[in-house]
Chains A and B, each alone.
Chain A
């Protein structure tokens, strides 16, 4: 096989299994980095599907989308092309936790991503359901060299990335009914988890769920509360898509509140509330709920509980808010956010109809729970290559995560690392203080996944550094180094970085005169006037002071708003950033204390059984990593410290 993996008609550098959010990013990144890439999916006409809420972003997730974008991924640009509503969340809660969230037209999203895939040189999008991998080697030294489809066709590839989402032995559950499925109306993927298990992989089972979809024509919108999005044009991508690529068809007239802003069509969402009648109905039918009558045993995510779970756990609340979200510009299909359920279909319909706005509602399809196989992510390296098998990478829900954004981030990293490996280059990884992507991957390889993993901003210790507005400054240099940034992206990043640098230099040197103009400007922000010429840098530390106000006072032309914002934040918050760094460093004194690779956890007395088992499985390289494994307590770390100290005292 040649180094680029092209060994003829059937030889690929990188094969990606599954064309969801992880698979699409993986295939695009690999192809863009020069690997001959095959993307195999059950249905090439429906890639990048959104089987749950057609929403992208939110706290931490929106940060991740911007990081994917800064690294040359596609999710942000496809979202920008197909958003029907976008908002900036957390505007009053601090600059680092501000986050974009968009609602997309899910059909347009899939189509737009499909167009990108089909237009990508080096990338073949093909139909095929993969039932097994091609293995070489044996024992503890396996190598994956390709895939086999259910039709018996074999594709050879130097690297294989498996991104099967919820399809691995998926089973849908609604009330008493359950049937094998990957998503509603789609077949599950069979054979692959058995193949992985046969080669020594641990396989677990997780659960997630989705609410019913209802017909917009049967909603009494007059009894809902309008939830409009931002009227300001907001975009995810640092490299904006051309205006003519932005979707904006004539909207379905059934939806009130649709408006055009700056030529872009923006739709509204609608909120409603459950009531005691709804809750009584659910309680009366709990014996028919698979979550409570024992027919679902796998764990679902705590942050995405079913409506029946919420009623049981928060019994004292007599109303829960639900959101009605159109799934596209023209569709009648409306997503009922907050009403995840696997109750029988008749109970679902009855509970919806107990809400005044939905008194006459009809369901398009019922909510359901889905159970699926996953490969616990502690079996991965930081590159997302598996520890057991060279050449095999796993990304997305197969690693126990949830969320399109989390999947896309992993897909991007796996695609990059597979392509780098084909080129013979070392893998790319990110530190926890560098990117949410780094936080997520480090969590995945060290933490036990006992519920689907979702990113939260509270998982990031260096939260003030990981802002959504500086993702390009943090990561585009990396994209440039590996060759994944487009010319236009690089140009924008350079311009922004240079503007910030120049503004910073100006700030360090400039002095603001003590005159009427400066007094007035300071008065405008309720700040005391200055008595003598004062360094601009000092004045920028005053709350609400703007860089361009100072520049005007000093007679300098205004700088770009985004560059100004970066300089302002640095001035205002650098003290807090340093405090945060110190807090983390203090508790991370052990971060780099190495654990010898040959250390035998099995014979270490003092470790609790649970901790010992987890340490043996994860084999952390440092005490810091060991400390992040959940189930490993500070007492266990103290025990390890005793052994490390002893080992240090007696060399050899």
Chain B
């Protein structure tokens, strides 16, 4: 039936499952307070003051047994994330403790929330707009602190503001053109073509600025895939371990990947990097060799960048040459590494140049972590994320927004061409209409009514 049913009360674990000090179970809906009362100690059940954390004992609603101690905060509607009554239960961390709390909340009458349902409710209740809802999804999935910060800026509405400003610029120029068309006998000053060209390029640069940041924005959201390749025994695994050891972030295995390639997640100065390791290939039999090559190929096919490792302590062999040829074949941007740089150098930059690999190579010694810091820097530069921290944080991290901005820019290009080709106002207006519409999809409003309102505000029309 196509009715929108009254909301029920939902609960879910709001923090990541895993070893941590605190776990939060969030309950939202009209019955949130009732659910909370059923699972907390009688002593505090009477009063859960709004927006005050209260220390309580948690009990199993079935048998009344206490199983944990928790801080409970009640946030009355509409001053909560979902704009519904919300209770947040901060219990002890750890998988078992948090699950027990959730189970108690479910036993007390809450329903397990569907993925994203809290955000959906916040959106349906008008707490956040569509851009913000998307930003929440990005935040939840944010792999690094910097990704999180970019998503948070978007949640704060900075992108909406920028897009709305660009759209307002378009509307202003469009209003002048349309007033001249629809009220041609009124006292409407004609649109100066030179001024129109200036105005158009002003909006363009605003959009271009946003778009310039977009690539870096995507880098933050989805990260890059890095392949570590090299012939057997050059020290790929130990180099990877050194890289991971140097990483402040927690490293977790990403489940569901192929059994024989290991994927590791690395926080490279804020840029999420998925490392596809081809380690584990050892030995000298032909079968194992060819298996190693197949893995390297797979890794290179998926990678955005590659680390090509050589053993500085021995001369180049056929295997090194084969891997180098393979890297060139895939055309992946590559950073050469001369590992075991503590040994007397038998292979140097000159040898790599002969292989068609651009230097200079980064010297490392994975055994003692030496050279790992320069490697991180060189890698960051290769990825192109070096200037993210230096510049302002990118606003556009989302593909949908990026596409809309690109379409708007293309429409404005059309208007600029119409101005340059000396075409009449009607044709200049087409691209502006297009830009207003696509920008409106990101931030927007009804274009026609906005336009008319804009015309009447600005011009004395009517006879």
Contacts and interface: CB of A to CB of B under 8 A. Distances in A.
Decide whether A and B are members of one complex. yes
Interface of A: 53, 58-60, 89-90, 92-97, 101, 301-305, 310, 313-314, 317, 320-323, 337-338, 340, 447, 456-459, 461, 463-464, 543, 573, 576, 579-580, 583, 586-587, 596, 598-600, 603-606, 608, 627-628, 630, 633-635, 638-639, 642-643, 647, 652
Interface of B: 1-7, 120, 123-126, 129-130, 178, 180-187, 407, 411, 414, 421, 423-427, 430-431, 433-434, 437-438, 440-441, 444-446, 448-449, 451-452, 455-456, 460-463
B129 A313 contact: no
Given A94-B427, A458-B451, A576-B427, A605 B7 contact: yes
Contacts of B448: 458-459, 461
Contacts of B449: 447, 630
A467 to B, nearest CB: 10
Contacts of A92: 424
A303 B426 CA distance: 20
Given A59-B181, A338-B462, A606-B126, A598 B441 contact: no
**Listed residue (B411, B430, B452, B462) with the most chain A CB atoms within 10 angstroms of its CB:** B462
Contacts of B427: 94, 573, 576
Nearest to A338: B463
Given A96-B426, A603-B4, A605-B124, A90 B181 contact: yes
Given A634-B445, A638-B130, A604 B4 contact: yes
Contacts of B125: 605-606
24 contacts: A59-B181, A90-B184, A92-B424, A93-B184, A95-B426, A96-B426, A302-B452, A304-B462, A304-B463, A317-B460, A338-B463, A340-B462, A456-B178, A456-B452, A458-B451, A458-B452, A579-B431, A583-B411, A583-B434, A586-B434, A598-B2, A603-B4, A630-B449, A635-B130
Q: Which of B186, B414, B463 has the most CB of A within 10 A?
A: B463
A256 B186 CA distance: 23
A599 B3 contact: yes
A261 B461 CA distance: 32
B178 A458 contact: yes
User: A interface, by DSSP: helix, strand, loop or mixed?
Assistant: loop
A308 to B, nearest CB: 12
Contacts, number: 152
Given A89-B184, A628-B446, A583 B463 contact: no
Contacts of A638: 123, 130
Nearest to A87: B185
Nearest to A634: B444
Contacts of B1: 598, 652
Contact of A323 (B4, B183, B463): B463
Contacts of B421: 543
B4 A643 contact: yes
Contacts of A596: 2
B385 to A, nearest CB: 33
Contact of B463 (A96, A337, A587): A337
Contacts of A95: 424, 426
A583 B421 CA distance: 21
B184 A600 contact: no
A246 B380 CA distance: 82
Contacts of A464: 426, 430
A598 B3 CA distance: 8
Given A59-B184, A604-B4, 19 more contacts: A60-B182, A93-B426, A94-B181, A97-B181, A97-B425, A301-B462, A310-B462, A340-B462, A458-B182, A461-B448, A579-B430, A580-B433, A587-B438, A598-B2, A606-B125, A634-B441, A635-B129, A639-B123, A643-B2
Given A310-B462, A605-B7, A639-B124, A93 B180 contact: yes
Q: Which of A93, A337, A456 gathers the greatest number of chain B CB atoms within 10 Å?
A: A93
A646 to B, nearest CB: 9
Contacts of A463: 426
A101 B183 CA distance: 12
Most B CB within 10 A of own CB, among A95, A321, A634: A634
Given A305-B462, A603-B5, A605-B125, A633 B445 contact: yes
B426 A97 contact: yes
Contacts of B130: 634-635, 638
A632 B440 CA distance: 14
B462 A94 contact: no
B423 to A, nearest CB: 8
Given A606-B124, A630-B449, A94 B414 contact: no
